Structures are given as C-alpha cells and as structure tokens.
Amino acid sequence: MLESRGTRAVLVALLVVAIALITIDFRDGGNSGAHSLGGRMFGPVERLAGDVTGVFRGGGDSGEITNLQRQNDQLRAELAQAQTANTDAKELASMLHLSAGQYKVVTGTVIAAGGDYSDTVTINVGTKDGITPNETVLNGAGLVGSVVAATPSTATVQLLTDASTTVGIRMAGSGQIGSLKGSAGTLSGSAPLKLTLFSANATLNPGQELTTFGSVGGRPYVPGVPVGTVSAVTTQPGSLTPTAVIKPFADFTGLGVVGVVVSK
C-alpha cells in the first residue's frame, strides 16, 4: 500500500483536471481553447490520415470524381442562388440583407468523424481556405450541415442529423415555413429528421420537397439549398402544428466531398 498513496494522488489530480476542463468548456459553450488546441494538434495528422484513407477509398480515379463532385457542388450552390433570385430576389435581399454577390464554394473532403453520439465530421479545409464558423455546408445532393468550428487546417461540420441542429426550411411548393431538427442520429443515417411547420393550416404530403429558408446574412444557412423530402406525415390529431419525418437528400453515411459556402 505504499504506492497507493501516490497512485491515488495521481488519480485525484487527473480527475480534478478533467472536471475543470469540462467546467470551462461548459461555460464556454463547447468552444473553449482546448478544442482549438486539439484542432491544431490533431488537424494536420487527421488531414494526412484522411489523405491516406481517401486513396484507399477512392481508388484510381478519385481525382476525376473529386473534380466532378466539386463542379456539382458549385452548380448546386449557383442553382440555389438562381432560384432564390428568380422568385423573390429583391424582396428577400432587402429583407435578409443578402449579399448581391455570387456564392463562393470551397470544397473539402471529410477526413474524420465524431463518436457514437455526435454527428460531426471534420473536413480538410480550414481558416487558411477562408472557412469560418457558421457557414453552410452542402454537397451535390443537398444540405449537409454547417461549420461549427474551424482551425487553420480543418473545420468541424455539424451535420443536419445532429440533435442540436435546427434549420429553418421552406416547403418547395407552398412556401410554408417551418423548422427542421435532427434527432440524435448517427452516421448510419437511420435516424429521421423531424419537421414542424409553423402554420397550423398548412398541409403536408409525402414527397414534398424542402429547401432552406435562409438565415440572416446567410449564416449559418444560405437560402434555397434543397434539404430533403417528406417521407411520412406524423401530425397528431390534436396538435396545433403539422409535423412530418423528412428524408434528407444527402447521404450522410458516405460523405466524401462537400462544399462550404463562403460568403464573399
């Protein structure tokens, strides 16, 4: 038992440090300096590992696929902007102070993913590429999520399926607005998104499409990005607002190249 005293001292010290870290991070809302430090430390390594694993994943023609996906992302962003512009560009721009310029998309590759409970991924672009937090992330299929943290070489993307994500949406046909919440799903994508419309009179039908409503200044979500389709209407008989389960366009299990909409 002679060594036990020292052992316990070490244990207690470590536990105190851990609890202090939790407390500080809790106070800072999960954005304490520890995360940025970890990003600086592990970001380059993860980029390297992501490159290595990307070679194994992509096979020989990964470059061409990446190029095509990048173009696709770019076109998707432009299309979203064009549609927005076509319908009510001026009104929206005046209302939301939308910048008149074109979206610029920085593409990156997913190099790491979070643990069992969090739906976050790391992409291999960071502040050196112009990425800042609260920017929209999309891919060729639709909305992916938003940037929550950025380090010089990497950025952390919170996916649409994360339980702490809430996205304002607009129904494609009717123009009804509502909010979409993740439901603590994982990368396997089995967990559905939950849609709640704000208007009690709105009707929901399976197959309807959703686009992003847009946030102020385009952060964290630019308007017009397709999100998903209504797969099932779950409105309870007595409820005030219609609810539905949304199947997202993007395939979160196989995220590869994503684009970050960088406002000019």
Q: Which two tokens stand for residue 258?
A: 């994503």
Interaction between residue 15 and another protein (CB under 8 A): yes
Binding positions for another protein, 33-72, rule CB under 8 A: 34-35, 37-39, 41-43, 45-46, 49-50, 53
Give SS3 for 59: coil
Interaction between residue 10 and another protein (CB under 8 A): yes
On whether the CB atoms of residues 86 and 240 are closer than 8 A, the answer is no
Sequence-distant (6+) residues with CB within 8 A of 86 are none
**Options 14, 65, 79, 95; binder of another protein; rule CB under 8 A:** 14
**Options 138, 144, 147, 148; binder of another protein; rule CB under 8 A:** 148
Report d(CA 100, CA 103) in Å as an integer. Answer: 9
On whether the CB atoms of residues 180 and 229 are closer than 8 A, the answer is no
Interaction between residue 75 and another protein (CB under 8 A): no
Binding positions for another protein, 177-236, rule CB under 8 A: 184-188, 190-191
DSSP 191-241: SPEEEEES-TT----TT-EEEE---GGG-S--TT-EEEEEEEE---TT-SS
The DSSP output letter for 67 is H
Interaction between residue 32 and another protein (CB under 8 A): yes
Report d(CA 206, CA 154) in Å as an integer. Answer: 38
Stretch touching another protein by CB under 8 A, among 73-81, 151-159, 193-201, 210-218: 151-159
Question: Which of 14/232 has CB closer to another protein?
Answer: 14
Stretch touching another protein by CB under 8 A, among 60-68, 85-93, 130-138, 160-168: 160-168
On whether the CB atoms of residues 245 and 121 are closer than 8 A, the answer is no
Give the binding-site size for another protein (rule: CB under 8 A): 67
Summarize as ranges the residues that interact with another protein (CB under 8 A): 1-7, 10-11, 14-15, 17-26, 30, 32, 34-35, 37-39, 41-43, 45-46, 49-50, 53, 110-122, 148-149, 151, 154, 156, 158, 162-164, 184-188, 190-191, 253-254
